Amino acid sequence: MAGFPEDFLWGVATSAYQIEGAVTEDGRGPSIWDIFVHIPGKIADGTVGDVACDHYHRWEEDVNLLAELGVRAYRFSVSWPRVLPEGKGAVNERGLDFYRHLVEALHSRGIAPVVTIYHWDLPFALYEKGGWAERDTAKYFAEYAHLLYRRLEGVPYWITLNEPFVATVLGYVTGEHAPGEQDPRKAVRVAHHFLLGHTLAVQAFRDEHLPGSKIGITNLMTRVLPASEDREVVEFAYAFERLHNGLFVDPLFTGHYPREALLAFARILWGEEGARDGDLEAYLYAQLDLPLEDLESFRQPVDFLGVNYYSPTRVAFNPESPFGGLEFLPPAGEATAMGWEVYPEGLTEVLLDVHSRYPGVPILVTENGAAYDDVVEVLPDGTKRIADEARANYIQAHVQAVRRAVEQGADVRGYFVWSLLDNFEWAHGLSKRFGLVYVDYATLERIPKASFFAYREIVRTNGG
């Protein structure tokens, strides 16, 4: 069996709000998540991210763990309100210094920094002015990105946005994530402004002419599996997959949304009568008072596409479903503690589909991992052990899925496990553990799990 390329980028990933803590220290301003988590009932286990893993104070210990793991890259995000407490204007130099020191420490260990500019923590000051529903936020985002390009030296990989589809749907349709709104009409504007912010940030990156640096975007992708071969079910499955996987990628290459996304927008906003033939983009943009010429500007070349993959989505057709006839089904077979089906072949299929649809663009698997209910075992000598074989098996199976995609021609350049540390898992709070390293939230002790050592061997042997 062919191996991975010698320069394959093995890494792990985290995000600022999920690990940093120190939410009021050294000049940091509040984000929408700082406000959201303190609303009773919003977080399943009632916890908040005020401390999380306390990475802000323990980052040197965490860099040591990265070095012990032997990874070639570390993906982390910058907290926008830590650097720009108001989202714009005055720079918080102490916040910027934190990331500068982190980047320098990574370089000293031979670890490449992969920096996500936005991982959902919009400064609350900008949300009070309308947030992503307003065009100005895209402009302020590009200014923030430009600041990072100039002040964080030696970053070889930049990611503009993490999973904008999830941020749009869970933040503005279902309300499960910050800012907790349920306004589909506003969600369409938010999606547009995410794409505009990405576009402006890429333009700012090109203007800086940073040698040796690349820029891309990361999207959550899934494999949508129909419950039967009935034509209606198959068509609905395909349409949802194109909406989910293509909404924030197709415009970067074509200057247009996937037609399936436009039909979904029309159905959500105006019912079946809105899902009509004709120039749907022009119709939608006129109704939402958005400039149609933005679409062509979205067609900006990116240097790579980030793919986050966890599980497939199984669907059936049900005319009574609130999702326009689409019914989401439970997993078939093994599932993680999140209730997500373990289906590594879906990752192979997604990577081949991305490679086929967007030829010539390298791919990074920027997140892949699993939550399980870890148990800490104290051995007779007092050492602690977490025997998370299920997570180790999940990672091994998905690494092999990436290998199969590479062997079939997909240009995959890297793989990042989510996550280095157990952390604050958004609406689930601290109850779901994805880490290769166990975090005791009472003491903040870090304990490498069995999966840590299993992944270390994968990295050491370049995929085995």
DSSP line for 368-403? --------EEE-TTS-EEE--HHHHHHHHHHHHHHH
- The residue length of the chain stands at 464
The active-site residue out of 241, 281, 349, 367 is 367
Q: Is 162 annotated as a binding residue?
A: yes
- Whether the CB-CB separation of 349 and 312 falls below 8 Å is answered with no
- Using one digit for the tens of pLDDT, what is the confidence trace for 265-312? 887 677 655 555 567 888 888 888 899 999 999 999 999 999 999 999
20, HSE (Cβ side, Cα atoms, 13 Å)? 26
163 in active site:
yes
Q: Is 198 annotated as a binding residue?
A: no
Q: Does domain 9-251+295-460 fall into CATH 3.20.20.80?
A: yes
Mean pLDDT on 10-36: 99
Q: Is 99 annotated as a binding residue?
A: no
Q: Is 18 annotated as a binding residue?
A: yes
As a whole number of angstroms, the distance between CA 252 and CA 257 comes to 9
114, HSE (Cβ side, Cα atoms, 13 Å)? 28
Q: Please provide residue 68's backbone torsions phi and psi, each rounded to the nearest 5 degrees.
A: -65, -35
Q: Is the pLDDT of residue 213 over 60?
A: yes
As a whole number of angstroms, the distance between CA 436 and CA 239 comes to 35
The active-site residue out of 20, 163, 281, 341 is 163
Q: Is 270 annotated as a binding residue?
A: no
- Using one digit for the tens of pLDDT, what is the confidence trace for 151-195? 999 999 999 999 999 999 999 999 999 999 999 989 999 999 999
Q: 247: which 2 tokens? A: 């909404």
Distance of alpha carbon 8 from the chain centroid: 20
Average pLDDT, the chain: 96
- CA distance to 14, 406, 464, per residue, from 367 (Å): 9, 17, 20
86 in active site:
no
As a whole number of angstroms, the distance between CA 218 and CA 364 comes to 9
